Amino acid sequence: MEKISSSIYEFLSAYVPEEDILLEEPMCRHTTFRVGGAAQCFVRIGSMEQLKKIVPYLQQVEVPFFILGNGSNLLVGDKGYSGIILQIGDKMNEIAVEDNRIRVQAGALLSQVARAAKEHGLTGLEFASGIPGTIGGGVVMNAGAYGGEMKQVVERVTVMDRQGEVLELLTEDMEFGYRTSVIKNRPFVVLEVCLKLCEGDREEISAKMEELTLRRREKQPLEFASAGSTFKRPEGYFAGKLIMDAGLRGYSIGGARVSEKHCGFVVNTGRATAADVAEVIQEVRDRVKDRFGVTLEPEVIFLGDF
């Protein structure tokens, strides 16, 4: 993999502290699958102003880039990513609560926002307390669990286009659907999210979050690295049951395995490569298609060279 040019590095370092620009950064450190080769350049973003400079520039010079949150829905190839990763994470994660609204920068973890809601006696976000992604990523994919989803609580989303223009999208503009939004189809960068919740009882909110945590521990393979639920739910079916009925419980290639605990999860048992994970996902798709005629669509995003 070639190194980024000195001119690109100089441009980035004019707006970002050098300690936040990492060259040849292993992506296994930044995905919940804990696999993946090196990114050519990895930039920790700290402000909207940085994004307004960097994104239009990279677009103009035609350098590939990818916006990363917590890496909880991402599989990066073993050969890495020939481009620039812009991470919106813990350097851009402020949370502000006013009455029944929470204004959140895109890099805040959903679990952090759910805790903030609980502390202020606001209900409606309990479902998100165990989702490992950022709120930016959660809005992009309309993250959901246990009957709740982001579209129920999002009031507006502040985004930036690839030319650096900042726009505000209301809920009705977001085109929320099952694991999708307008941002999945248009190259917007989420900057900030405003949530509208309801007043509730703090003890009841806490009890609900604890109940959901217990359900996750009982039913999900949290002891292994994974990207959460690997496949979208096909209409009229459950992905996990289809995979189990296809005889794939515990199916493995290298260090990647279909979880015995929940067949909808492909997990890294500790020594998987990205290629192992990708091969298991493909084998699952092929066998379910052959057996039941159902095409499973991965929730996981594939990035880079495998």
pLDDT digits (tens, 9 = 90+) for 284-294: 999 999 999 99
Contacts of 209 (CB under 8 A, 6+ apart): 114, 118, 126, 129
Q: Confidence band (pLDDT; 50, 70, 90) for 252?
A: very high
User: What is residue 111's predicted lDDT score, i.e. its pLDDT?
Assistant: 96
Q: Is the pLDDT of residue 2 over 90?
A: no
* String of DSSP letters for 259-271: -SS-TT-EEE-SS
pLDDT digits (tens, 9 = 90+) for 183-236: 988 889 999 999 999 999 999 999 999 999 999 999 999 999 999 999 999 999
233 is catalytic: no
Annotated catalytic residue, options 111, 179, 181, 257:
179
Annotated catalytic residue, options 229, 257, 259, 283:
229
User: What is residue 3's predicted lDDT score, i.e. its pLDDT?
Assistant: 86
The DSSP element (H or E) to which 258 belongs, if any, is: strand 256-258
159 touches 191 (CB < 8 A)? yes
SS3 assignment, position 3: coil
Burial classification of residue 164, based on how many CB atoms lie within 10 Å of its CB (0-12 exposed, 13-18 middle, 19 or more buried): middle
Looking at residues 229-249, what average pLDDT do you find? Answer: 96
Q: Is the pLDDT of residue 63 over 80?
A: yes
Contacts of 113 (CB under 8 A, 6+ apart): 95, 102, 104, 125, 128, 135, 195
73 touches 137 (CB < 8 A)? yes
Burial classification of residue 290, based on how many CB atoms lie within 10 Å of its CB (0-12 exposed, 13-18 middle, 19 or more buried): exposed
Distance CA 174, CA 159 (A): 11
Annotated catalytic residue, options 25, 149, 283, 299:
299
Distance CA 142, CA 102 (A): 17
229 is catalytic: yes
pLDDT digits (tens, 9 = 90+) for 95-138: 999 999 999 999 999 999 999 999 999 999 999 999 999 999 99
User: What is residue 185's predicted lDDT score, i.e. its pLDDT?
Assistant: 83
pLDDT digits (tens, 9 = 90+) for 159-192: 999 999 999 999 999 999 999 999 988 889 999 9
* String of DSSP letters for 173-221: GS--BTTB-HHHHS--EEEEEEEE-EE--HHHHHHHHHHHHHHHHHHS-
User: What is residue 44's predicted lDDT score, i.e. its pLDDT?
Assistant: 98
Looking at residues 53-77, what average pLDDT do you find? Answer: 96
SS3 assignment, position 241: helix
291 is catalytic: no
Contacts of 285 (CB under 8 A, 6+ apart): 295, 296, 298
User: What is residue 144's predicted lDDT score, i.e. its pLDDT?
Assistant: 93
User: What is residue 85's predicted lDDT score, i.e. its pLDDT?
Assistant: 98
294 touches 273 (CB < 8 A)? no
Q: Confidence band (pLDDT; 50, 70, 90) for 1?
A: confident
Distance CA 105, CA 65 (A): 21
Distance CA 306, CA 304 (A): 7
User: What is residue 9's predicted lDDT score, i.e. its pLDDT?
Assistant: 97
User: What is residue 286's predicted lDDT score, i.e. its pLDDT?
Assistant: 98
User: What is residue 184's predicted lDDT score, i.e. its pLDDT?
Assistant: 87
Report the chain's terminal Cα–Cα distance, integer Å: 13
Determine how many CB atoms are found less than 10 A away from the CB of residue 56: 16
Distance CA 13, CA 57 (A): 13
Looking at residues 64-73, what average pLDDT do you find? Answer: 96
- If you average pLDDT over every residue of the chain, what do you get? 96
Q: Confidence band (pLDDT; 50, 70, 90) for 279?
A: very high
